């Protein structure tokens, strides 16, 4: 992570984030998906991934919201999720964000991310619709927004020693 002249070219903020992720075992030899290259360290891998992520974060529409992350977290601690009247039943009080804005990041006053919405390419949506039939059958849920099928296919890594897929993914795809 040094330039050819030997001077460091690292962004201090990205380097601090990379060190934090290595110390918290977000990146381990078991979960980076490949062997380390000669002379490469886990810190190098974490730094490159963070730098890549931060480069992807440019070009977003950023909207500041008047509530803080701490206040939202406090509201959800009581029941584990926002109350049924949040957002309020009156949608006129809430700002509509058209898809023409592209990728949107919602920030509180302290620049903490409250939400993130990205544009999904039409080709990916078409591919998902074409391959839906290979997924195991699942009963649709009904709520205020309508009837839908939900699947939680995620990788957990922030609170575990190694990154692993969700229980629902392992159940549906036990390979």
Domain count, the chain: 3
pLDDT digits (tens, 9 = 90+) for 122-175: 888 888 888 888 888 888 888 776 788 888 777 776 566 677 788 888 888 755
Average pLDDT rounded to a whole number, residues 97-111: 78
Is the pLDDT at 3 greater than 50? The verdict is no
pTM of the model: 0.41
Residue 5: per-residue pLDDT? 36
Query: Domain check: are 40 and 75 in the same one?
Result: no
Query: Domain check: are 19 and 64 in the same one?
Result: no
Asked whether residue 14 is domain-assigned, the answer is yes
Residue 81: per-residue pLDDT? 55
Asked whether residue 28 is domain-assigned, the answer is yes
Query: Domain check: are 107 and 142 in the same one?
Result: no
Is the pLDDT at 103 greater than 70? The verdict is yes
Asked whether residue 78 is domain-assigned, the answer is yes
Q: Which range (29-38, 83-92, 116-125, 140-149) has the least confidence? A: 83-92
CA dihedral of residues 144, 150, 153, 155 (deg, nearest 10): 20
Residue 84: per-residue pLDDT? 56
pLDDT band at 2 (very low <50, low <70, confident <90, very high): very low
Query: Domain check: are 139 and 88 in the same one?
Result: no
SS3 sequence, 100-123? HHCCEEEECCCCCEEEEECCCCHH
| Segments forming the whole domain that contains residue 150 | 134-175
Is the pLDDT at 90 greater than 70? The verdict is no
Asked whether residue 173 is domain-assigned, the answer is yes
d(CA 71, CA 101): 27
CA dihedral of residues 151, 152, 154, 158 (deg, nearest 10): 170
Query: Domain check: are 20 and 54 in the same one?
Result: yes
Asked whether residue 158 is domain-assigned, the answer is yes
- Go through 147-172 and write b for each residue having 16 or more CB atoms within 10 A of its CB, e for each that does not: eeeeeeeeeebeeeeebeeeeeeeee
Asked whether residue 108 is domain-assigned, the answer is yes
Asked whether residue 1 is domain-assigned, the answer is no
Query: Domain check: are 110 and 144 in the same one?
Result: no
Query: Domain check: are 14 and 39 in the same one?
Result: yes
């Amino acid at each position: 992570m040094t330039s050819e002249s030997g001077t460091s070219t690292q962004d201090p903020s990205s380097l601090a984030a990379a060190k934090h992720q290595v110390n918290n075992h977000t990146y381990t030899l078991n979960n980076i998906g490949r062997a380390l290259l000669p002379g490469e360290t886990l810190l190098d891998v974490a730094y490159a991934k963070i730098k890549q992520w931060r480069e992807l974060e440019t070009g977003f529409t950023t909207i500041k919201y008047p509530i803080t992350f701490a206040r939202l977290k406090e509201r959800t601690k009581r029941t584990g999720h926002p109350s049924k009247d949040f957002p309020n039943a009156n949608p006129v009080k809430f700002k509509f964000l058209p898809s023409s804005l592209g990728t949107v990041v919602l920030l509180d006053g302290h620049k903490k991310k409250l939400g993130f919405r990205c544009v999904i390419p039409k080709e990916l949506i078409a591919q998902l619709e074409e391959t839906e039939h290979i997924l195991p059958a699942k009963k649709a849920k009904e709520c205020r927004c309508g009837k839908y099928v939900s699947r939680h296919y995620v990788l957990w890594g922030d609170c575990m020693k190694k990154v692993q897929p969700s229980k629902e993914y392992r159940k549906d795809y036990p390979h």
